[in-house]
Amino acid sequence: MNQASANPLGTAPIGSLVRKFAVPSIIAMIVSALYNIVDQIFIGHSIGELGNAATNVAFPLSTVCIAIALLLGIGGAAAFNLSMGKGEREKAFYYIGNAASLMVAGGVILCVFTELFLEPMLTFFGSPDNVLGYAKEYVRITAIGFPFLILTSGGAHLVRADGSPVYSMACNLAGAVINTILDPLLIFKFNMGMTGAALATIFGQIVSGCLVLYYLCHYKSGKLEKKHLLPQIGVAGYAMSLGLAQALNQVAMMIVQIVMNNSLTHYGAASTYGESIPLACAGIISKVGMVFFSVCIGIAQGMQPIVSFNYGAKKYDRVKQAVRLSFVSGSIICIVAFIMFQLFPRQIIGLFGDGSEMYFRFAERYFHIYMFCTFLNNIQPLTSTFCSAIGKPLKGTFLALTRQILFLLPLIIIFPLVMGIDGIMYAGPISDFLAAAISLWMLRIELRKMSEICG
């Protein structure tokens, strides 16, 4: 019996496979997003607006970590599943080993760089003077956890590729639980403020990272050997090409975040809101959006091993079934999120502490305008992941960059010149709509090609 026919990815019902892989992936992604959300809630209640603004300033560094994790994690997982689907078993393990070792190396390098250039980096990220001290206190500690954060976020894909989505979820969940327990203890009971929030975060990340390492030493599909861990240009290059779309999307998000922070500070200072309120509110809302968006990404990532394996095995009908089911599931989530953001913005922002009436007024307006096209937000990540999963990284990369770089970045620069701070808000839904339209068009093209192959 060949590998493609023996593996459940090629034989089990698509509905059960999507549930098996997508549900743990969704939970893992939500848990990952909650690392920032939990800190934001406790910091907001203990320090207030300046503390929330500080975590927003620090957020681009977390985005860089996730970019490295996706570059190697999704890339390594997709390469592994494609190779296993083709029956290239020995070759497949080099993708897992190279991805794991490069994740750790990338985290160490980023940690050292951050510690050496902390203050100028945070200033570049858009920190006002009254926020800089809080941001430095927070990032100086969280940087220590970068190797573990990258290994946890990226390693989860390697674990999932081995057919263990529940363990992948547990790795993220363990760290989040630890973070949630330690946050109130360190921030309030021991009165450690930003330092307490940062320590709680890295303790959770260390535990999660160690769980991933343990699994990689006991891989179900076969034993990972030292030779698999030694980086090889060809192996690492191919894996990274498959993860490049998602990684560049994170890099694009970081670039947009930096420009956004500086724009919010600049145009906020010229408005009735002041420079700190827009920065704090936008940071909170972006992280709330991350929770819902994590569901969309989780569905797409849960789809990835199913699509990659069956595409490699030339079972195109199963590929199309997985895509359709994932698309419908993501659309339902997006519609629910849209309704919540439009009807309950004040209640959502109120979870993150008190503020002035002006603070709540800006938050409500930002929710209503910037998040208006939330109901379309599943289309781009699903299509980008799909293209990378079938070995077409250039298309996946282009799609990953459409919203952030092609549309949002120019619009948040141009619109405020005419509309002031409102221009930043209106840039969001326009970018969402255009990115969704292009992604849907390209998805239909790829599915039509498979239909023609099937005859």
Chain segment 177-233, per-residue pLDDT in tens? 899 899 999 999 899 989 999 999 999 999 999 999 999 999 988 888 888 999 899
Instruction: Answer yes or no: is pLDDT of 5 > 70.
Output: no
Q: What is the pLDDT of residue 454?
A: 62
State which amino acid sits at residue 314: K
> What mean pLDDT value characterizes the chain?
88
Higher pLDDT pick, 280 / 116? 116
CB neighbour burial string for 96-111, b if at least 16 within 10 angstroms, e if fewer:
bbbbbbbbbebbeebb
- Mean per-residue pLDDT, 422-427: 95
Distance CA 282, CA 363 (A): 7
Q: Angle between the 129-142 and 276-312 helix axes, to the nearest 10 degrees? A: 40
Instruction: Assess whether pLDDT exceeds 50 at residue 268.
Output: yes
pLDDT of residue 4: 47
Q: What is the DSSP letter of 259?
A: H
Per-residue pLDDT tens digits for 337-390: 999 999 999 999 888 877 788 889 999 999 999 999 999 999 998 998 898 888
User: Using CB atoms within 10 A of its CB, is residue 213 exposed (0-12), middle (13-18) or buried (19+)?
Assistant: middle
**Angle at CA 440, nearest 5°, toward 439 and 441?**
90
How far the first Cα of the chain sits from its last, in Å, is: 26
The highest-confidence range among 38-52, 90-104, 251-265, 269-283, by mean pLDDT, is: 90-104
pLDDT of residue 93: 92
Positive or negative torsion for Cα 120, 124, 127, 129: positive
For the record, the structure tokens of 17 come out as: 């496979």
Q: Is the pLDDT of residue 2 over 60?
A: no
Q: Distance between CA 333 and CA 261 in Å, rounded?
A: 28
Side chain identity, residue 56: N
Q: Output the pLDDT for position 3.
A: 47
In whole angstroms, give the CA distance from residue 231 to residue 146. Answer: 20
Indicate the pLDDT class of residue 71, thresholds 50, 70 and 90. very high
What is the C-alpha separation between 171 and 156, in angstroms, rounded?
7
Q: Is 40 helix (H, G, I), strand (E, B) or coil?
A: helix
| Residue 6 binned pLDDT confidence (cut-offs 50, 70, 90) | low
Q: Left (φ > 0), alpha (ψ -120 to 50) or beta: where does 274 sit?
A: left
- Other beta carbons within 10 Å of 221: 16
Q: Of the spans 283-287, 391-395, 408-412, which averages the highest pLDDT? A: 408-412
Q: Supply the pLDDT for residue 165.
A: 81
Mean pLDDT of 108-123: 96
8 Å CB contact between 307 and 7: no
> For the residues 292-320, what does the mean pLDDT come to?
85
Which pTM value belongs to this model?
A: 0.74
Sign of CA dihedral 331, 332, 336, 342: positive
